[in-house]
Structure 1
Amino acid sequence: MSDLTLALDAMGGDFGPQVTVPASLQALERFPFLRLSIFGDQNAIKQYIPADFPHSNRLHIEHCSQIVTMNDRPLTAIRNRRESSMRKAIDMVQEGRASACVSAGNTGVLMAMAKLVLKTLPGIDRPALISTLPTLQNKPVYMLDLGANVSCDSDTLLQFAVMGSVVAQKINDINKPRISLLNVGEEAIKGNDVVKQTAELLKETCQLNYIGYIEGHQIFEGNTDVIVCDGFVGNISLKTTEGVANLLFEHLKQAANSSLLMRFLSFISTPFLKNVLCKVKPDQYNGASLLGLRGIVIKSHGNADQQAFFNAIKQAISEVEQRVPDRIQDSLESILLEKIC
């Protein structure tokens, strides 16, 4: 493909340039068509770039005097962090100089800034974080929202369902993707008022293939294609999964050191078990996309390591190649305008 430019927020996440810069160099080595503009403290960035790096001609550093911290409130950051690495990376997308932005920074600020600068697609009130999760049926399930909107009304959740359905259909070529609402039970009487109201709206929307409620333990079964929830529930679900995976890793380590027999058994089984557990670690998935914007913004896991941030860069490249916002816009307006049968 022709040259593709991405804008990267080097200062976001728990580790900043220590992770984002090596991941960027890895991406430049992997994709010869890729050009990267890295935003942040140029001194912090340069210390992770070898003097003899062979692809420096495709790497541009843009110094930023400010950083968005994990404690910044969205409104405060919008007003006072206009020179931050996150804001400058988003601005580059809005100006048409980059095809997508990747950041591991503060989710709330990223969502607010992206919405302010890039705007949402027609018919969409709020962007939503969407990502794929692995399932027992060896096919991914899309889940949204994963943390961009901690409180949603039924109309917003309906919009999430529409966006998730369009992505699953257009990107994964799924005919009439099955949509489920994450709830505390499968019975119609279960759930809060917002969930119940959303269920009624989905039932009345003939263009969507709504199949009912799904419980937390069913997320990974693979019996649905899109799972819809608010960002509070989605983020907790995702991070609980991460915590369980980490717990199992630690138990494996402890068991391996308990006896000579266990060390032998661990030596044989650990590679297989690690491969299985890695599939449910959130930082191993592709980056989550802020869906519903007029541009592409990828949110990397906050404590992502180099490989995980590299995965987020790959996700950005994939969404650019597949023209995700254009494909959503092509389908979204007609669905929302004619949603009731």
Structure 2
Amino acid sequence: MSLPRIAVDAMGGDEGVRVMVEGAALARRRYEEFKFLLVGDQARIEAALENHPNMRGASEILHCEDVVGGDELPSRAIRRAKTTSMGLAVNAVKTGAAGAAVSAGNTGALMAMSKIALRTLPGIDRPALAAIMPTLQAHDVVMLDLGANTEADARNLVQFAVMGAAYSRIVNGFERPVVRLLNIGTEEIKGTEELRDAAAMLTAASAGGEGGLALEFDGFVESDKINRGETHVVVTDGFSGNIALKAIEGSARFVTDLLRQAFTSSLRSKIGFLVSRPATELLKHHLDPNNHNGAVFLGLNGVVVKSHGSANAKGVANAVAVAARLLENKLTERIAHDLAELGQDALGRNGKVRGAEDSGEAAA
């Protein structure tokens, strides 16, 4: 049975068709069995395909000239979903014409279109935006939510943890990923009521035995430890997650810019740069966002991957590769299975673990 193809919004992103097609072509070198639905202006896509013969026989073009603007309001973009390249790429997943969609366009519009077209999986109240980030260890860390939901209650955070753990098992290969909640401290008394309630729920759910989840909950983590590699999944609401993500990205750019200034400040510094170039090249590779490009909207009835708007061809290739890998490993089925293992009767309507309140285990 052939694998489902990947729909690519060829018009999204800062560079548009050329980079999106080149990125898809690079990804296909790693995933030769996948085929593509390229959505966008047919003439421009055909011109871009001239440089990538490996894509010509593996691609179908869905002509569309309308594009979602980078600053367009999601509410307006939704009304144009049937005429824009982004909307048609997402709709291809809805109709089964594609198994996944990849876009480098407007994040808010992509989230809104995806949620309306695909809906959430049973047991998921809200989808979450997840991404992988580098650590000091051999593995990456999965972090969510990064902006899909500005607020999240305890029940949402538990669902995010289940989805993030399923994603981590695919990208990092851990059978029981270590999950922590982002907080202002590691002590049990720290944080909001929602965080403390979520911690109680995850402690009960990951305790093992019948109904135990395939994750290991290990309490709270502070933002300065996210990239240490001490945990596999970091869970938070979209407001805090987006701030943390941008702070990390800003710090990475600060370090690289500082090093650039230092190594070009004098002749001696330039000589020092030549001596230390292998180390600085390794650092540059580790901090390059293109090497970790491809955020995923978890919790939907289908795979949707968001590429960074400024990503180069290598970055787009990584985003497309994420989509391919998630299709190969049946991400949505894994999440649905884990939610069934959790069981809705484990959660009270107020978002607290049933039984934990009576035993005094739920945080007040």
Do they fold alike, i.e. is TM over 0.5? yes
Distance in 2, matches of 1:335 and 1:146, equals 24
CA, structure 1 residues 175+255, in 2 after alignment: closer, same or farther (shift >3 Å)? same
CA, structure 1 residues 150+43, in 2 after alignment: closer, same or farther (shift >3 Å)? farther
- Deviation of 1:88 after TM superposition, in Å, equals 0.4
Structure 1 unmatched ranges of 5 or more: none
Q: How many residues align?
A: 341
- Deviation of 1:204 after TM superposition, in Å, equals 3.7
Q: What TM-score do you get using the length of structure 1 for normalisation? A: 0.91
- In the alignment, which residue of structure 2 is the partner of 1:297? 304
State the Cα deviation string for residues 75-97 of structure 1 (Å, max 9, x = none). Answer: 22212332111110111111112
- Deviation of 1:4 after TM superposition, in Å, equals 4.5
- Deviation of 1:30 after TM superposition, in Å, equals 4.6
For residues 312-331 of structure 1, the aligned pairs below 5 Å read 312-331=319-338
Does 2:235 match 1:213? Answer: no
Distance in 2, matches of 1:3 and 1:325, equals 15
- Deviation of 1:21 after TM superposition, in Å, equals 2.0
Distance in 2, matches of 1:15 and 1:323, equals 31
CA, structure 1 residues 30+204, in 2 after alignment: closer, same or farther (shift >3 Å)? closer
- In the alignment, which residue of structure 1 is the partner of 2:358? none
| Code of the aligned partner of 1:308 | G
State the Cα deviation string for residues 109-160 of structure 1 (Å, max 9, x = none). Answer: 2122111111211100111112222222222221111222222222211110
Residues 66 and 84, structure 2, Cα contact 8 Å, conserved in 1:
yes
- In the alignment, which residue of structure 2 is the partner of 1:241? 248
- Deviation of 1:229 after TM superposition, in Å, equals 0.5
Q: Name the stretch that deviates more: 145-154 or 168-177.
A: 168-177
Q: Name the stretch that deviates more: 320-329 or 198-207.
A: 198-207
CA, structure 1 residues 324+213, in 2 after alignment: closer, same or farther (shift >3 Å)? same
3-state secondary structure, aligned to 1:69: coil
Structure 2 unmatched ranges of 5 or more: 347-352, 356-364
State the Cα deviation string for residues 253-311 of structure 1 (Å, max 9, x = none). Answer: 22222222211110122332232243234332141211111111111122211101100
Distance in 1, matches of 2:284 and 2:224, equals 16
- In the alignment, which residue of structure 1 is the partner of 2:142? 142
Distance in 2, matches of 1:92 and 1:180, equals 35
Identity of aligned residues (%): 40
Residues 293 and 311, structure 2, Cα contact 8 Å, conserved in 1:
no
The two structures, once aligned, show a CA RMSD in angstroms of 2.3
CA, structure 1 residues 334+60, in 2 after alignment: closer, same or farther (shift >3 Å)? same
Residues 183 and 190, structure 1, Cα contact 8 Å, conserved in 2:
yes
- Deviation of 1:174 after TM superposition, in Å, equals 2.5
For residues 110-125 of structure 1, the aligned pairs below 5 Å read 110-125=110-125
- Deviation of 1:3 after TM superposition, in Å, equals 5.3
Residues 31 and 324, structure 2, Cα contact 8 Å, conserved in 1:
no
- In the alignment, which residue of structure 2 is the partner of 1:82? 82
Distance in 2, matches of 1:309 and 1:171, equals 17
3-state secondary structure, aligned to 2:158: helix
CA, structure 1 residues 172+184, in 2 after alignment: closer, same or farther (shift >3 Å)? same
Residues 171 and 322, structure 1, Cα contact 8 Å, conserved in 2:
no
- In the alignment, which residue of structure 1 is the partner of 2:349? none
- Deviation of 1:176 after TM superposition, in Å, equals 3.2
CA, structure 1 residues 32+222, in 2 after alignment: closer, same or farther (shift >3 Å)? closer
CA, structure 1 residues 2+267, in 2 after alignment: closer, same or farther (shift >3 Å)? farther
- Deviation of 1:228 after TM superposition, in Å, equals 0.4
CA, structure 1 residues 239+302, in 2 after alignment: closer, same or farther (shift >3 Å)? farther
Distance in 2, matches of 1:204 and 1:38, equals 45
- In the alignment, which residue of structure 1 is the partner of 2:97? 97
- Deviation of 1:103 after TM superposition, in Å, equals 0.9
- Deviation of 1:47 after TM superposition, in Å, equals 4.2
CA, structure 1 residues 196+21, in 2 after alignment: closer, same or farther (shift >3 Å)? same
For residues 7-86 of structure 1, the aligned pairs below 5 Å read 7-50=7-50, 53=53, 55-86=55-86
Distance in 2, matches of 1:242 and 1:44, equals 33
Q: Name the stretch that deviates more: 147-156 or 289-298.
A: 147-156
| Code of the aligned partner of 2:156 | T
| Code of the aligned partner of 1:288 | A
Q: What TM-score do you get using the length of structure 2 for normalisation? A: 0.86
Distance in 1, matches of 2:51 and 2:244, equals 43
3-state secondary structure, aligned to 1:219: helix
Distance in 1, matches of 2:199 and 2:185, equals 13
